[in-house]
Structure 1
């Protein structure tokens, strides 16, 4: 499952640089699948195309890019670093470890 940021977020930004997939963005910021990944433009998917922000006022995590740090760290780094514990598992976006590894490999070209 991916991680999500709750409304308790104080916009400190501590989580953003900790994400190995660059899946965390400042509220209101457009994002791309190619940010922090090795995805390249192709006929099926244009990962360089900007997407609309998921949230306007607080930091947000893009579930399509979040791997819970699987393949990088033993624990999600955003959860560890957050001073107000607003980074929590997103039960609506459950993925088992195998799926998270597949997503990590897709994002970083390790297929």
Structure 2
């Protein structure tokens, strides 16, 4: 280490940290001043919702069909009917989620 290099003092570090904080608040460098909640997190949430809707619809339909089969003694017909109805309900729910996301994507961003 060269002797002519200046060692950083705590005061110098405080000044540099404050200037970085001010730049962050102003949004220097093309960044917004609000923390990045990231659209990726929102998209992940929508993807998880779609997955849950698919699984829940199929499982609920199959379960209700199975229970109705046991109660009425019609194995496996009501299980098949419940499975098909559950799949239809699941895809309808996924379609509704997709339509809501499309509408949300087209709407102008709210002023925050």
TM-score, normalised on structure 2? 0.18
Q: Over alpha carbons, which structure has the higher Rg? A: 2
Which structure: greater strand fraction? 1
Whose RCO is larger (CA < 8 A, sep 6+)? 1
